[in-house]
Structure 1
Amino acid sequence: MTYRNGTYIAFDGLGQTDPILSDFKYYGAIQAWTANKNMDFKYVNSHDKTCAVRDSSLRTTLEARIRERQSNSKNMVVILSSDTRKTGSMLTYEIEKAVDYYKIPLIIAYVDYQVVAKPVKLSKYWPEALRSRIENGTAKAIHIPFTKDAILKSVEQFNVYNMPVTAMDNYSKADHRTFGTLGSAG
């Protein structure tokens, strides 16, 4: 049995080769937090455990790397923005494999929100693969704002051995205060 200690990060590349024009920039932010010696943000990146691939790689090559990375992952951060496509991206494949085959808990991070109190109200962001798995209850997910503290807490808290209870879990007001996304009056 493989020890699963990595965090797999998924996002929609939006068919772009320039990372600034896609949701890759948010993955870049997570990498920057990790590289910054003045920030307490550490995680095991599943993408660093295998050979690199390019967006121009054959789909079969991309899928093989995804499977290899996910098989060693304890959880998956899914970055969602207003640009995330509902179908037709590799994100669909990543969600399908993570939930259906590898049984990885999802950490759904919304880049456009500082507080995630009612995840169902953010369903407009969900790719169809995520929507169907939330609706049928096969996904186990925590819904969070895309902030350093929320992502770090989720990555440390949820894994294949400690799943969110449902597909619609979210953090409390008190947790959002500790993330610095909700003032003391909120």
Structure 2
Amino acid sequence: MANRTGTYVAFDGLGEKDPTKSDFRYYSTIQAWSANKNIKFSLTNSHEKTDAVRDTSKRTTLYARIQERLKSSKNMLVILTKKTRFTGSVLSYEIEQAIDTYKIPLIIAYPEFSSILNVESHSDIWPKALAERINNTGVEAIHIAFAKDCIMDAITRFHVNGEHLSDGKNYYNRDAQIKWGLIR
């Protein structure tokens, strides 16, 4: 296995050409946090470790690049919203590969929710690939709010060489979420 140091960020582009109309905006937020010297947030972005893929690239080229990036990733940050498609997006392929082939822990972030205390209550927005795998033995995932401190904690703790998660339905306890200001 390659040197696994990156975090692979996955989201549904929703078939949009305009990134501001898709979940790409959340990926852009993470990039901005990481680039800002005044914000304590550091991300080794797996997408920056390989050549860029254009929207016009063939699917085989895209899938090969995804596999290359996943091979060097220690974890995957999956961004899910109410618009995330159940099937038909590249996100499904990314989740399948991360879990089935590369055994990468998932950090599942929900931008539309301020806190996550009941994982099952969000199952209606899980893509089919995630829904089919989340209860399987060996799947490691933590479900979190899309909040800088929460994401940073999860990225640094839960990865192939870090702390292991008990199953696919973990979340931070109420006290941790209060500490981060997610629950008042």
Fold agreement, TM-score > 0.5: yes
Mapped to 2, the partners of 1:129 and 1:137 lie a distance apart of 15
Other-structure match for 1:133: 133
Name the counterpart of 1:171. Answer: 172
Question: Take 1:112 and 1:52, find their aligned partners in 2: how far apart are those partners?
Answer: 29
Cross-structure match for 1:66? 66
Correspondence 1:157 to 2:157: yes
CA contact (8 A) 1:106 1:142 kept: yes
User: Gaps (5+ residues) in structure 2?
Assistant: none
1:7-26 aligned at under 5 Å gives the runs: 7-26=7-26
Distance 2:39 2:134 in 1: 33
On the 8 A contact 1:7/1:75 being kept in 2, the answer is yes
Deviations 1:49-82 (A, max 9, x none): 0000122211111101100000000000000001
Q: Tell me, in whole angstroms, the C-alpha distance in 2 between the residues paired with 1:181 and 1:18.
A: 30
Are residues 163 and 56 of structure 1, via their aligned partners in 2, closer, same or farther at CA, if it must alter by over 3 Å?
farther
Map 1:1-186 to 2 at 5 A. 1-161=1-161, 162-183=163-184
Helix, strand or coil at the partner of 1:135: coil
RMSD: 1.0
- Cα distance in structure 2, aligned partners of 1:159 and 1:138: 13
- How far 1:138 sits from its partner (Å)? 4.3
Alpha-carbon distance in 1 for matches of 2:171, 2:4: 24
Unaligned 5+ segments in structure 1 are none
Identity of aligned residues (%): 51
Three-state SS of the structure 1 residue aligned to 2:83 is coil
Separation (CA, whole Å) in 2 of partners of 1:138 and 1:86:
23
- C-alpha distance after superposition, 1:11-30 (max 9, x if no partner): 00001111001100000000
**Number of paired residues?**
183
Query: What does the per-residue CA deviation read over 1:58-116, in whole Å, with 9 as the maximum and x for residues that have no partner?
Result: 11111011000000000000000010000000000000000000000000001111110
Amino acid at match of 2:39: M
Q: CA deviation at 1:3?
A: 1.9
Secondary structure in structure 1 of the residue aligned to 2:134: helix
CA distance in 1, matches of 2:3, 2:68: 13
Q: Is the 8 A contact 2:135 2:167 kept in 1?
A: no
Q: Counterparts of 2:128 and 2:139 in 1: how far apart (Å)?
A: 13
In structure 2, what is the Cα distance between the partners aligned to 1:50 and 1:13? 19
Matched-pair contact (CA < 8 Å) for 1:100–1:138: no
